[in-house]
Amino acid sequence: MRKTRAIVITGNGTNCEMEAAHACRLGGFDEVVIAHIAEILSGEISLDDFHFLNLTGGFLDGDDLGSAKAQANRLRHAAVAGSNEKLVEQFIRFITDGKLILGVCNGFQLMVKMGILPGLDHNYLTQSVTLTHNDCGRFQNRWTYLKVDPKSPCVFTRGIVRGIYLPMRHGEGKFICDSEETLKRIESQNLAVFKYSGPDFATPTMEFPLNPNGSQNGIAGICDSSGRLMGLMPHPEAFVHYTQHPRWTREELPEEGQGLALYKNAAEYVRDHLV
């Protein structure tokens, strides 16, 4: 059997690449590569050789032009050295080959601004949603309760019954759509995987600070219709072990952090469908 391979892209202001790679290993991937974007643009590393692409948090290009916008423009127009293709063609081939992409925080911002999410009508190059400045007008760093949509096609959330508890840290996390029609389609197709909620995971909330940014309908993360492409603002890679929980010295907790489930689901999917 071929090895399951994950890649984590770094460079131009990303961070969390070490944590994301560690989460992939804990989740069950055989090989995990942290690659600088320059290595991909030079042709030294190709996305074609991997099954799971991680786009991590950070402050791409200092958030100039808005979070991840400069990198989105770069990836859509830059050519791969020594070839006749643009890098975005590798992204589209990665998607059409049935592989997985997870964008966290800045990575989620990158996916929506490239147009990869929500990918309505399988259109992965037209932006229809965005992530913009928090309603409170400042950076937020806190833990959030995320209600999961059990009807979502999302590969990453299989087995998560009610919701999960994850940290978030961002200044531009407010999810908004370009039209009411786009929002209706996301909701009707159950693409709003995660929504901010209270600790009972009962209903989505617009109440601050449970909803830390004012996202429409409380949306914290979305996927495409295949369920293989997902982005979310909170950080699953930052809660893969109980010692990362803010109350780990005061509560009895399982050894595995709740964020690890996303990476275990990804590894299982790759083993079952791609190798």
pLDDT at residue 66 greater than cutoff 90: no
What lies within 8 Å, CB to CB, of 256 at 6+ separation is 240, 241, 242
Is residue 237 annotated as part of the catalytic site, yes or no?
Answer: yes
Decide if pLDDT at 85 tops 80. yes
pTM for the predicted model, two decimal places: 0.97
Sign of CA pseudo-dihedral 64, 67, 68, 74: negative
Residue 24 is among the residues annotated as catalytic for this protein: no
Query: Can you read off the two tokens belonging to residue 214?
Result: 């004012």
Say yes or no to pLDDT of 76 above 80: yes
User: Does pLDDT of 61 surpass 90?
Assistant: no
Reported confidence tier of residue 84, pLDDT bands at 50, 70, 90: confident
Strands 129-132 and 174-177, by their bridges, are: antiparallel
- What's the distance, Cα to Cα, between the start and end of the chain in Å? 7
Is the pLDDT score of 137 beyond 90? yes
Q: pLDDT for 197-239, tens place per residue?
A: 999 999 999 999 999 999 999 999 999 999 999 999 999 999 9
Arithmetic mean of pLDDT, 8-16: 95
Average pLDDT over residues 34-50: 97
What distance in Å separates the CA atoms of residue 252 and residue 102, rounded to the nearest whole number? 30
Confidence band for 53, pLDDT divided at 50, 70 and 90: very high
CATH number of the structural domain spanning residue 141: 3.40.50.880
pLDDT class for 65, splitting at 50, 70, 90? Answer: confident
* Catalytic annotation, pick one of 16, 105, 177, 223: 105
Helix (H) / strand (E) containing 6: strand 5-10
Q: Can you give the pLDDT at residue 1?
A: 65
Residue 145 has pLDDT above 80, yes or no: yes
Note down the domain range covering 138. 5-273
- Number of domain units in the chain: 1
Distance of CA 27 to the CA centre of its chain: 16
Q: Cα 81 vs. chain centroid, distance in angstroms?
A: 27
